[in-house]
């Protein structure tokens, strides 16, 4: 299972904000820290705000902050909401055209693996993955 770059950036933004729980942070600051495109981050931040993981303030003195305490955010929930799909194979897609679908033993095995993957992520919170180096 591979996370999309979008989910990777979402987790990075949340980790950075989680390391500065009482500060408003600028997108430029996060982009510079991770050396990633500000334009990409703006899309990610907008989506995270729509999901209510973060709050944004425009204008002078504005910025972004976590809307929750890091220990309140389960990684499994974040990944489920930021990944566009979990199509591990053709048979997971709505438009599945695999000729083996009705007789294949791979689908239940991959389904179980996906459930285990997400269940493992559900055991951890954002607080668990914030690098100590980011904390002051």
Residue 73, helix vs strand vs coil: coil
Model confidence pLDDT, tens digit, residues 69-119 = 999 999 999 999 999 887 766 667 777 777 777 777 888 888 898 899 999
* Number of domains observed in the structure of the chain: 1
Of the two residues 132 and 62, the one the predictor is more confident about is 62
pLDDT at 110: 84
- pLDDT number for residue 97: 76
CB 56 within 8 A of CB 64: yes
How confident is the model over 11-25, as a mean pLDDT?
93
* Structural domain that includes position 18: 5-134
| Residue 66, CA distances (Å) to 5, 11, 17, 44, 113 in order | 20, 12, 6, 14, 31
41: CATH:
1.10.10.10
This model's pTM is above 0.75: yes
Task: Look at residue 84 in the predicted model and tell me its pLDDT.
Answer: 85
- Does the structure show a pLDDT above 90 at 38? yes
pLDDT of residue 108: 82
115 membership: H or E segment, kind and range: helix 106-122
Residue-by-residue DSSP string for 25-60? B-HHHHHHHHT--HHHHHHHHHHHHHTTSEEEE-ST
Q: What are phi and psi of 114, to 5 degrees?
A: -65, -45
């Amino acid at each position: 299972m591979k996370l999309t770059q979008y989910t990777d950036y979402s987790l990075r933004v949340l980790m950075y904000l989680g390391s500065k729980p009482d500060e408003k942070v600028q997108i430029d600051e996060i982009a510079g820290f991770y050396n990633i495109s500000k334009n990409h981050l703006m899309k990610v931040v907008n989506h995270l705000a729509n999901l209510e993981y973060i709050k944004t303030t425009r204008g002078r003195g504005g910025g972004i902050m976590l809307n929750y305490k890091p220990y309140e955010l389960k990684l499994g929930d974040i990944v489920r909401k930021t990944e566009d799909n979990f199509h591990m194979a053709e048979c997971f897609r709505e438009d599945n055209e695999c000729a083996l679908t009705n007789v294949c033993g791979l689908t239940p095995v991959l389904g179980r693996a996906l459930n285990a993957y997400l269940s493992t992520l559900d055991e951890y919170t954002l607080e668990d993955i914030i690098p100590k180096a980011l904390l002051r």
